[in-house]
Structure 1
Amino acid sequence: MNEALSISIFLFALFFLLGTSVWVGASLLLTAMLGMYLFTSAPIGDALALTVWGSQSSWTLTALPLFIWMGEILYRTNLSETLFRGIAPFMRRMPGGLLHVNVGASAIFAAISGSSAATVATVGKMAIPELRKRGYPERQIVGSLAGAGTLGLLIPPSISMIIYGVTVNESIAKLFMAAMIPGVCLALLFMGYIALWGLRHGEKMQMDPSTNWSEKLSAFLGLLPVVALIVAVIGSIYGGVATATEAAALGVLGSFVLAFLQKTLTRDTFVESVLGAVRTTTMVMFILMGSGFLSLAMGFTGIPKALAEVISTWDPSPLALIMTLTVFYILLGCFLDGISSIVLTMAVIEPMVRAAGFDMLWFGVYLMIVVEMAQITPPIGFNLFVLQGMTGHDIGVIARAAVPSFLVMCLFVVLLVIFPDLALWLPSVLK
C-alpha cells in the first residue's frame, strides 16, 4: 500500500508540473525532492550534490556536446542544397520520384547530426520548395519527410543512443554498430512505401527529365565531402581507431573544414553554432540531472523493487513485454520528447528488460525506433512542430500525413523482433 501511495504521489507531482509547462529537468528535480522529503530521512542537499556530479561526470558524455556541435555547424552550411542536388539525379526515375530524396538526404544528414529535428529542418528547407514546384502531393511531401526525419534518432551518431548507453552503462561504439543495419533497413522500408505509392499515383507528379552519367557523376562528386565525413567519423569508431568522443572531435573538425570550403564559416555562423550547441547540451544535461536524482529518490522509496516484484508475479513472456512496452512508449511519447522518455523510464524498465533476457544492444535499437514513433505522434511530436513551422499546415494535417510512416515503423518493430540479428550481427562481427 505504501508503494502504491508513493507511486501515486510521484506521478501526480510529475504530471502536474509537466502539465503546467515547467521544464522537464526542473519537473524531475522537484518531484524527486518532494519524494525525498516525504518518504526518506536522507539529507536532500547531500544526495542531490552527489547525484548531480555522478550523472554529469561520465567521460562518455563528452561525445554528446561535440556531436551536437557538429550538427549545428553543418546545419548552417549549404548542406541541404548539396544533399538534394547530389541525390536527386539517382532518384528521379524511381517510382515515387524525388520523394525518395527526403529519405536518402535524411539518412545521410542523420549520420552527421544525430538529431531528428535538425534532420527534418535541414532536409526540409531545400526539399519542400523543390517538390512543391514539381507538383508532388503535399500529403506525401510532409509525410515522407516526417518519417524519414526520425532516422536522426537511430542512425549513428545518435544523441539519444548516447544517452541510452550512458544510462544503462553500455558501450556507445557497440550501440552505434547495432543501430547501423536497422537504420539502413528502416530507410529502405520508407523508400519501399514511397515506391508502392508512386506505382499507384505516379500521374499526380511531374516527371523530371532523365540525367546522363556525367551529370550523375558531377552530383556525386558534390556529395563526396559529406560522405567522406560520415565514413571518417563512423569508420573510426567501427575500426577501433577512435572512441566515440574522439570521433566526435574529428567530426567537429571535419564540419569546420566543410563549412570553410563552402564559404559559410563566418563569425556569425560560428557564434550561432556554439550557442545552439550550448542550449541543446544544457537542456539534455538538465534532464539527465533530474532523471538521476528522481531515480535515487525512487530507489529510497522502494518503488523499483515493488514494480519488479509485480512484473515477476505477472511473469509476462518476452513478446508480451515488448508489446506492452511498445504501447507504453508510444503513449508516453504523446507527452514527452524522446530523450525525456528514455531517461525517465530506464531506472524501472532496465531491470525488467534484463530479467526477461533481452540483449541491451538489441533493446537500445528497439527503443530508438519506438521513441522515433513518438516524434510524429501528437500532441507533442517534435518533428510535427518543425514541419508545422516550415509548411504552415495545421498540426492535425501533418499528423495525418505521417500515419503511413508511423505504420512503416510499426512493421519494422515486428521485423526486429522476428530477426534480432538485424541489430546483433554487426557488433558480434566487429568485436
Structure 2
Amino acid sequence: MSDLTIGILGFIALFGLMILRTPVAFAMLMVGFFGTWWIDGLRRAGAIMMTETYSSVANYSLIVIPMFILLGNVSSEAGFSRGLYDAAYAWVGRFRGGLATASVMGCAAFSAVSGSSVATAVTIGKVALPEMKRLGYGDGISTGSIAAGGTLGFLIPPSTGFVIYAILTEESIGRLFMAGVLPGALMMALFIVAIWVVTLIDPTQGPKGEKVAFAARMRALMTALPLLTVIIVSIGGIYLGVFTPVEASGVGAALTVILAFATRSIRLGGFNRAVMDTVRTTAMLYMIVVGANVLNPFLALTDIPNALGAALNAFGIGAYGTLLVILLSYVVLGMFLDGLAMLVITVPIYYPVIMALGFDPIWFGVIAVIVIEMGMITPPVGLNVFVVRNVAENVPLATVFRGVLPFLIAMIVCIILIILFPGIALLIPNSMFG
C-alpha cells in the first residue's frame, strides 16, 4: 500500500473519529501517531509524540493564548463589555437599526480583547438581546447581528485563529495580528451596511432608539474607557513597536486585572471563575496545537500536500481558480466542522499549495480566517447561531439562520474585496515590518 493511500485512509479515520464525537485534538493525535507508526515504525512515531508534545507547549509564542483569554474573561466578569455596548448605543442608537449597529460595534470592540468568536457572541448577546427585544426589534436582525458580530472575534486581533495559523505555518504572529485590523474594520462596516439595508427594506425590523444628549454620550464613553485603554495600549503597543505580541498580551491582561480590582468591578469569586475558564480554554487550545504538530509529520510522510497541488495544477484552472476551489472546500467543511478543527486540519495541506502558487501567506491567512468564520453562522453546525439561540429565549433556530443571511453576503463581499485589493490585509503589516 502506498504512503499516499495510507494518508487518505488516515483522513477518513480522522473524520470518522470526529463524527463519533472524539475531541479534534485526540483524533489528530491518534491518526498522526498510528499513521506514522504504519509508515515509519513505532520508534519514529514515539519520538514524534514526545518531541512534538514538549516543543508545542514550550513554544514561547503560545503564551499569547492564555494571556488574551484571561484578558477577555476578566473583562466579561468585570462588566467592562457592558460599558462598550452602552457607549456604542449612546452614539448610534438613535438611528434606524441603531441597537443592532451598536451590537456589531460592541462585538468589534470586545473582539480586540477576547480573540474568541463564541465568547464575543455570548458576552455581547447577553447585554444586547434583551434591549433589542424590549424596543421591538425583529428576532432575525437581533440574533443575526450578534451571531455575525461574534465572528469578528476570530479576525480582529488578538485572534486565536491567527495564533494557531502562525504556529502551524511559522509565520509572524505580529504580522498576522496587524493584517487583521483593516479587514476587521471593513467587515464591521459591511455588517453595519447590511443592517441599514435590512431596516431600509423593512423599518419595523430595527426601529429608532431614543436620542441621547451629548453629555450623556460622553459619560457613556467614559464608562467604556477602562477597556478602551487596554485595547489602545496592547494593540497600539504592537503597532508602534513598543511590545511584541507576547509582551502585549501580558501587559493587556495585567492592566485589565488591575483596572477590574481598582474600580471594584470584580470580586474574588468572579476573578477565580475567569482564571478557571482561562485554564480550561487554554488546555483545550494547547491540546489542539499538540495534536496538529503530531499529525503534520504524518502528512509530510504521505506527501498529500504535493499530491493535492499536482492534482489542482492538472485541472489547469490557474492560481485564482485553485484559490476558489480551496475557499469552496472551506465553505463545505464549515457545514460540519468547527473553525479551529478546520484550521488545524487544512492549513498543513493548503499552505504548501498557496506558497507554490505565489500567494502571500499572511494575505491567505486573513482570507482563510474569514471563510472559516462563515462556517460559524452557516447550517447545520453554525456554532455561533446555536450559542445565540441559547441566549435568545423563544426564538426558533430557523429564524436565527435567516437573520444571518445578510451578514453572510457581507462576508462574501469582504472576501472579494480583499482578493481584489490585497493591500487591505497587507498595508499595515508591510508598513510595520517591511
Instruction: Assess same fold via TM > 0.5.
Output: yes
Give how far 1:5 is off.
Answer: 2.4
Assess if the C-alpha contact under 8 Å between 1:3 and 1:306 holds in 2: no
Query: d(CA) in 1 for partners of 2:210 and 2:36?
Result: 67
C-alpha change, 1:172 and 1:4, in structure 2 (3 Å) is closer
In the alignment, the residues of structure 1 paired with residue 212 and residue 392 of structure 2 have an alpha-carbon distance, to the nearest angstrom, of 29
The amino acid across from 1:33 in the alignment is F
- Report the equivalent of 1:402: 404
Q: Does the CA-based 8 Å contact 1:385-1:395 persist in structure 2?
A: yes
Which residue of the partner structure matches residue 258 of structure 1? Answer: 259
Deviation at 1:184?
0.3
2:41 is the counterpart of 1:41: yes
- Post-superposition shift, 1:338? 1.3
CA contact (8 A) 2:306 2:353 kept: no
Query: Aligned residue for 1:8?
Result: 8
Q: List aligned pairs for 1:5-404, cutoff 5 A.
A: 5-43=5-43, 44-392=45-393, 393-404=395-406
| Partners of 1:290 and 1:209 in 2: CA distance | 51
User: What does the per-residue CA deviation read over 1:294-346, in whole Å, with 9 as the maximum and x for residues that have no partner?
Assistant: 11112223333333332343454221122111111111122222122111112
CA-CA distance at 1:88 after TM superposition = 0.9
Q: Distance in 1 between matches of 2:325 and 2:252?
A: 38
CA contact (8 A) 1:311 1:352 kept: no
Matched letter for residue 283 of structure 2:
T
Give yes or no for contact 2:105–2:188 (8 Å, CA) kept in 1.
yes
- Relative to structure 1, is the Cα distance of residues 56 and 312 closer, same or farther in structure 2, using a 3 angstrom cutoff? farther
- Matched-pair contact (CA < 8 Å) for 2:89–2:99: yes
Cα distance, 1:244 vs structure 2: 0.7
1:142-191 CA distances to partner (integer Å, 9 max, x unpaired)?
11111111000000111111111121111111111111011001100000
TM superposition shift of 1:352: 0.3
Q: Which amino acid aligns with 2:93?
A: R
- Provide the C-alpha distance between the structure 1 equivalents of 2:52 and 2:165, rounded to a whole number of angstroms: 18
Counterpart CA distance in 2 for 1:259 and 1:240 is: 26
Separation in 2, partners of 1:23, 1:136: 38
Structure 2 residue identity aligned to 1:21: R
**Closer, same or farther: CA 205–95 of 1 in aligned 2, 3 Å:** closer
Q: What's the TM-score, normalizing by structure 1? A: 0.96
Instruction: For residue 76 of structure 1, give the secondary structure of its aligned residue in structure 2.
Output: helix
CA contact (8 A) 1:95 1:196 kept: no
The amino acid that maps onto 2:375 is: A
Change (3 A) 1:207 1:47: closer
The residue identity in structure 1 corresponding to 2:410 is V
Give the equivalent residue in structure 1 for 2:428.
426
Q: Separation in 1 of the partners of 2:303 and 2:175? A: 32
Taking the aligned partners of 1:237 and 1:205, their CA distance within structure 2 comes to: 38
Extract unaligned runs of 5+ from structure 1.
Answer: none
How many pairs align? 431
- Change over 3 Å in CA distance of 1:6–1:242 after alignment to 2: same
Confirm or deny: 8 A CA contact 1:103 1:187 kept in the other structure: yes
C-alpha contact (below 8 Å) 2:161/2:340 kept by paired residues: yes
Q: Distance in 1 between the 2:159 and 2:287 partners?
A: 19
* TM-score (normalizing by structure 2): 0.95
Root-mean-square deviation over aligned CA pairs: 1.7
Residue 389 of structure 1: how far off its partner (Å): 1.2
CA distance, structure 1, for counterparts of residue 258 and residue 162 of structure 2:
26
Counterpart of 1:402 in 2: which secondary structure? helix
Q: Distance in 1 between matches of 2:360 and 2:4?
A: 30
Q: Residue deviations 1:65-123, cap 9 Å, x none?
A: 11111111112121232122211121123232211111110000001111111110111
For residues 17 and 306 of structure 1, the distance between their equivalents in structure 2, rounded to whole angstroms, comes to 24
